[in-house]
Amino acid sequence: MHAEELAKTIDHTLLRADATAHDVERLCREAARYHFAAVCVFPHYVPLADGLLKRADVKVCTVISFPFGADDLRAKVAAAQDAIGKGADELDVVFNLPAMLSGEFGYVRDELAAVVRAVRLKSVNTGRGHALVKAIIETCYLSNKMKRLACTILGQAGVDFAKTSTGLGPQGATLQDVELLRDCLDEHIGVKASGGIRTLTDVELMINAGATRIGTSAGVAIMQEALGQREERSSSALPS
């Protein structure tokens, strides 16, 4: 994969509790430099990121009901609409994990579908086009049977992506989970792998397993590794 294509799989992520506006500014400069797919920041920083990336080919992503998905539906809808109104192009929405683990599958589906509908309507009304909704299912807490059921729920709710992890659970993305999600989801729903992805090899393995987006805070290091390898290959091809 060319470095330019690799960059467009990466959501350059900053979701640390101690993240400052200065950190977000640096994140956006890095994203614009490497032409990442998106930056992923807390809702508080959406207006800042939107302003900094107005002229860049980088989307603004934020998280909703992060990290447990246990907020009231009205709060989720209001937060999603507010984020779109302030400049978000993509939303990573944590589905209701406690409800899922309690067997309230219909509730999880209906709640997520309501958020998706609210996002679609708000994005049309604000003229931002199709805002992507990526549902975070936190695979480390789910059995394989529950992961398959989650895929069915996500398909019925109308999301654009299934995302493996928040990055705050006891385990992040695994190749097995990415493969399972890719096999179970409708082909029009993408897979975003996140959590513990820090090297070029990690990214390549996740993409080969079926992921088309990668959430990572190590995007710069990954791109430097990719560009360094490309330069090495180019140098080795030169005549001696």
Q: How big is the chain by its Cα radius of gyration, in Å?
A: 18
Our answer to whether residue 192 is catalytic in this structure is yes
Closest to 94 (Cα-Cα) out of 63, 118, 73: 63
Catalytic residue chosen out of the listed positions 92, 160, 177, 202: 92
Phi, psi torsion values for 41, nearest 5 degrees: -135, 170
Q: Is 57 one of the catalytic residues? A: no
23 is catalytic: no
* Catalytic residue, candidates 50, 76, 192, 202: 192
HEC assignment per residue over 189-207: CEEEEECCCCCHHHHHHHH
- Using DSSP's 3-state secondary structure scheme, residue 18 falls into coil
189 φψ region: left (φ > 0), alpha (ψ -120 to 50), beta (else): beta
- 183-212 burial, b at 16+ Cβ within 10 Å, e below that, comes to ebbeeebbbbbbbebeebebbebbbebbbe
Tokens representing residue 17 in the block: 């509790």
Catalytically annotated residue among 59, 134, 147, 163: 163
Active-site annotation, residues: 92, 163, 192
